[in-house]
A = this chain, B = another copy of it.
């Protein structure tokens, strides 16, 4: 995570101020629950909320931590400075640091998930808009980078929509995976604190109590979370790769937007580089790679070891901030993508009509021509297109062996794009619901 590839809202989730605020809420709600149980005095629980409006002094907490070498104790000391030592004396009673840390980490991930969900929803809006806009913009479909049959630009946007819609569902599932909290003590037995405290804190903070924790919330949840980010990142790479291909000089079916004042563009009009989608390709590699240490974090020793912590201190912010930035950037790219329908037609007709050779072959055989003969007929006309740059339809129309079997209308019909686009509405209805 570096500022260059960050957006402030996601960064804020990982700021110390946010963390301390969440710590405070956990502690304060826990006090309420303890007071309700009669474990601590009600007035002490109430007193803690005096710090409710306060922004905690990160520098002061760091100062205390430098002495105590313990972050949670440093925070509690600072909290006592605000609330009053006497009033604060029951704060954190019966809890362990991990109760606070793990619950906080999950709250941060849930909030990060909320942003990512909103990001995906924004991306879907953009994709849908462009899909509808270019529903009938014919372009050549390519397998292996080689022209195959016509499709439409709308279908390209629509398939990215469908893919990102699946990612939205996955992201919601991932959010649910980590939306748990634990206030269960040193080894998860609730020896020193009643389970109702956990329930109260979780309810207040929008979490579900972790059914069984040890000192920590089990890390298979986080592995599933970060693996999901990796899948979404891979989809971003998928879209980015398509655009990079479309923008290459010889294809030029689309371009990333250029801000008006970007210098140099008109002296070298060909030199507009798809740097945003290339950048997204790299960011995808980064996010994807973080799934692995998250998976390695699952096998902690016994009731917990702290090996997961250094990993999460990095990939927690890194993966979410990077993915948020990437989704937002991709949304802008899609929103503003400059599409060149005329170049799509030009490319499709590069080998004039040749992409229809298979349709013609089929038509001939359906008229009773043997497979070998049909093949010969197609081949001899196709080679004129390929080698001499002639037009396939014209050649066929002038080949008496072809016209003996197929009428001019029948030949022309084989070159009608409507044949290829007749089910676009069906597919759109599948993807976007009935239009």
Contact = CB atoms under 8 A, between A and B. Distances in A.
Interface in A337-362: 347, 350-351, 354-355, 357-358, 361-362
Interface in A251-279: 251, 262, 266-275, 278-279
Contacts of A162: 211-212, 218
B150 A189 contact: yes
B379 A186 contact: no
A16 to B, nearest CB: 11
Contact of A279 (B211, B273, B283, B307): B307
Given A279-B310, A295-B231, A151 B305 contact: no
Interface string A279-308: 101111110111111011111111111111
A234 B299 contact: yes
Contacts of A147: 249, 270-271
A217 to B, nearest CB: 11
B426 A190 contact: yes
Contacts of A5: 310, 313
Given A220-B166, A303-B151, A145 B4 contact: no
A6 to B, nearest CB: 11
B212 A223 contact: no
A382 B351 contact: no
Nearest to A170: B224
Chain A interface residue number, banded: 35 or more
A189 B145 contact: no
Contacts of A148: 186-187, 215, 271, 303
Interface of A: 1-2, 4-5, 69, 140-151, 155, 158-159, 162-163, 166-167, 170, 173, 177, 185-192, 195, 209, 211-215, 218-221, 223-224, 227-228, 230-231, 233-235, 237-238, 240-242, 244-245, 247-251, 262, 266-275, 278-279, 281-286, 288-293, 295-311, 313-315, 318, 322, 347, 350-351, 354-355, 357-358, 361-362, 375, 378-379, 382-383, 385-386, 419-424, 426-427, 430-431
